[in-house]
Amino acid sequence: MNKPYLMCLAVALLLLSYSKPTDAAARMPATKTATTVTDYPQMIRLSGLPVRVQEEVIELVAQKYGVPSGIITREANFFRDLMGDYLDYIELIKSVEDHFNIEINDEDMDKIQTVGQLIDYVKARLLIP
C-alpha cells in the first residue's frame, strides 16, 4: 500500500471516532442512572404520577388494627369505631410516617381522629390535590 492511502485511511478513522452522534441517537432521550430515592414526598411531587394514598393508608390501618380493609371507611374513628387504644394509634402514626417518609407533629396527631382525616393529612404533606 502506498503512503498517501494509509494517511487518508488514518484521517478517516480519526474523523469517525470524533463524529457527532447520528440523528437517531440525538433524538433518543437521555437515560438516567439508577438512584436510590429516600425522599418519598419529593419523589411523589416530581413524578407527577397519581398516588394511591387512600388505599395505602387504609391498608396500614387494617394491618395495625387487625380488621379487614374492606370495612374501613373514611369516617371510621380510630378509638370509637376501630376499638383501638392510644398505643395502637401511636403505632399506626409511626407506620404511616415510615411508609410515606413524612413527619406528623404532636399537635396534628392529636387533631386526627378518623381515617379520612389521616388520609387528607398525608395527601397535604405529600402535596397531592
Cell 471516532 belongs to 17
In the chain, alpha helices (H): 3-17, 23-27, 40-47, 53-65, 86-100, 106-111, 115-125
Closest CA to 114 of 91, 80, 69, 67: 80
Are 108 and 84 spatial neighbours (Cβ–Cβ below 8 Å)?
no
Mark whether 85 is an active-site residue.
Answer: yes
How far apart CA 43 and CA 68 sit, in angstroms, is: 30
Of these residues, 23, 39, 85, 110, which one is catalytic? 85
Active site (catalytic) residues: 85
